[in-house]
């Protein structure tokens, strides 16, 4: 199943709403009008200005107007290619449209970034990516610090 949705998003610079295109695909798709929820299940893939996400299941929750994304949730075997070119993988990802914030959890969360001279891999329990500042913070597991090491660029 393939979908093309035009959703309104607040422009970070002008603070005005403008239409954006999101393309989705999955084995199954359902839209619940009363809940304003679009659900992609089975090999779910969603692309748009916020990035490129694959998972077993992706849900889009719309505002009361039915045209503006409130939140997106991705579940199980989540891989996100973020705007800054980073690749993150984990168990669950939530995107909060209001502040352009991504929160990913997993066992562990893994993020791969291209750096001068190669790639860097960081592992932790959770990561937060903020679009407006292009910043990533990673929290370690069970009180431990996050771990950063050279990574394999081929995984991108």
Q: What is the pLDDT of residues 82-133, one digit of tens each?
A: 877 789 999 999 999 888 899 999 988 998 888 777 888 888 899 998 877 7
pLDDT tens-digit readout, 50-74? 679 999 999 999 999 888 889 999 9
Domain chopping of the chain, boundaries: 2-155
Residue 155 has a pLDDT of: 47
**What pTM, to 2 d.p., does this model score?**
0.86
User: Which CATH superfamily groups domain 2-155?
Assistant: Lipopolysaccharide (LPS) transport protein A like domain (2.60.450.10)
Give helix then strand counts, H and E, for the chain: 0, 11
């Amino acid at each position: 199943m393939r979908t093309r949705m035009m959703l309104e998003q607040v422009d970070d610079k002008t603070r005005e709403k403008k239409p954006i295109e999101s393309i989705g695909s999955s084995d199954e798709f359902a839209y619940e009008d009363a809940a304003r929820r679009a659900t992609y299940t089975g090999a779910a893939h969603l692309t748009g200005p916020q990035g490129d996400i694959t998972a077993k299941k992706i849900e889009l929750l719309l505002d009361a107007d039915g045209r503006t994304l409130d939140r997106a949730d991705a579940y199980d075997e989540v891989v996100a290619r973020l705007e800054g070119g980073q690749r993150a993988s984990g168990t669950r990802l939530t995107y909060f449209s209001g502040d352009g914030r991504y929160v990913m959890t997993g066992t562990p969360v893994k993020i791969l970034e291209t750096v001068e001279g190669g790639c860097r891999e960081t592992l932790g329990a959770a990561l937060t990516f903020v679009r407006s500042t292009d910043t990533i913070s990673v929290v370690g597991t069970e009180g431990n610090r996050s771990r950063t090491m050279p990574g394999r660029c081929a995984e991108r």
